[in-house]
């Protein structure tokens, strides 16, 4: 496994690969790797000739300074895991390498970044769009792999790729969960033992709502029940719990079988913000 720290290194090494007609698979990460990330790597290896991962905690997508400062950094462990998985290259840039000066470019994804996460994290998806654009321009992969847990992020990136005509195929990989259903996330390590036990309410809420919807219950009644459940658990607070069109993210209030639907949730457990989603149909 070769570690590349500059844009020039990445372009130089991968140009050699392209000349040999090999398919390049790319997995961008912010580090603090867990089994969810490694599943992305596995998918990349199955669908590519060569795999490059990146580790970069992108400052422009954090609208909360404390969240940025508390984001776990485990570089040595991450590199060891990637090496064990047989990753060919790791792009490990410094902030100054990707942001030589303060960025003034902003992205507006229309409705896609005005709902769900966009309401509570203004500017977040502009930062995501900026760093993903940079990475795709530098790496120029044939395929790039993202987790379904970040449903809205995937929708934003697909729109970005479509509108800016990046020559890359975006592949979505199903969410990887702990045995109790909690979606794997780098933020999970910040939970106390008590908080970790309480965090299962997110997945329980999603599965409860799915079962109730499929049984013919009204969405607004289900939604109110979930809100009530959160109010009864200390140190847990619900930010949103919404039924949406999986692709457009437009809100729905019934089980419309003509289109794909997902339930999306964001909540605080202790001071840790967690998100998840579950596809219905």
- Per the annotation, does 169 bind a ligand? no
Residue 264 forms part of a structural domain = yes
pLDDT in tens, the chain (281 residues): 999 999 999 999 999 888 888 999 999 999 999 999 999 999 999 999 999 999 999 999 998 888 888 899 999 999 999 999 999 999 999 999 999 888 899 999 999 999 999 999 999 999 999 999 999 999 999 999 999 999 999 999 999 999 999 999 999 999 999 999 999 999 999 999 999 999 999 999 999 999 999 999 999 999 999 999 999 999 999 999 999 999 999 999 988 766 799 999 999 999 999 999 999 97
> What's the rounded Cα separation, in Å, for the pair 37 and 201?
23
- Per the annotation, does 273 bind a ligand? no
> What's the rounded Cα separation, in Å, for the pair 35 and 52?
17
Task: Extract the tokens encoding 266.
Answer: 């964001």
Domain identity same for 167 and 200: no
Q: Decide if 136 contacts 166 (C-beta within 8 A).
A: yes
Range of the domain at 213: 186-279
- Per the annotation, does 147 bind a ligand? yes
CATH number for 96: 3.40.50.620
Q: Decide if 203 contacts 177 (C-beta within 8 A).
A: yes
Task: Answer yes or no: 37 catalytic.
Answer: yes
CATH number for 207: 3.30.1300.10
Residue 83 forms part of a structural domain = yes
> What pTM value is reported for the model?
0.95
Domain identity same for 140 and 37: yes
- Per the annotation, does 129 bind a ligand? no
Domain identity same for 35 and 158: yes
Residue 178 forms part of a structural domain = no
Catalytic residue among 14, 26, 37, 159: 37
């Amino acid at each position: 496994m070769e570690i590349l720290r500059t844009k020039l290194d990445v372009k130089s090494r991968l140009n050699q690969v392209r000349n040999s007609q090999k398919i390049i698979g790319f997995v961008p990460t912010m580090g603090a790797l867990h089994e969810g990330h490694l599943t992305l790597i596995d998918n990349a290896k199955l669908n590519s000739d060569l795999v490059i991962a990146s580790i970069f905690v992108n400052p422009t997508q954090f609208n909360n300074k404390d969240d940025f400062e508390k984001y776990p950094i485990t570089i040595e462990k991450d590199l060891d895991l990637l090496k064990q998985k047989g990753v060919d290259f790791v792009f490990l840039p410094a902030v100054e390498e990707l942001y030589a000066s303060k960025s003034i470019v902003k992205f507006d994804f229309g409705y896609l970044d005005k709902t769900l996460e966009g309401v509570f994290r203004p500017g977040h998806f502009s930062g995501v769009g900026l760093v993903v654009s940079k990475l795709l321009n530098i790496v120029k992969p044939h395929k790039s792999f993202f987790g379904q847990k970040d449903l809205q992020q995937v929708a934003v990136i697909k729109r970005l790729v479509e509108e800016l005509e990046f020559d890359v195929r975006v592949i979505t990989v199903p969410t990887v969960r702990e045995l109790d259903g909690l979606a794997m996330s780098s933020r999970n390590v910040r939970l106390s033992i008590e908080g970790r036990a309480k965090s299962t309410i997110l997945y329980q809420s999603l599965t409860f709502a799915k079962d109730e919807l499929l049984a013919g219950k009204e969405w607004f009644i289900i939604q109110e029940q979930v809100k009530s459940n959160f109010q009864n658990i200390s140190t847990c607070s619900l930010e949103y719990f919404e039924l949406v069109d999986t692709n457009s993210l437009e809100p729905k209030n019934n089980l419309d079988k003509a289109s794909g639907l997902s339930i999306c949730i964001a909540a605080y457990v202790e001071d840790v913000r967690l998100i998840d989603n579950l596809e219905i149909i």
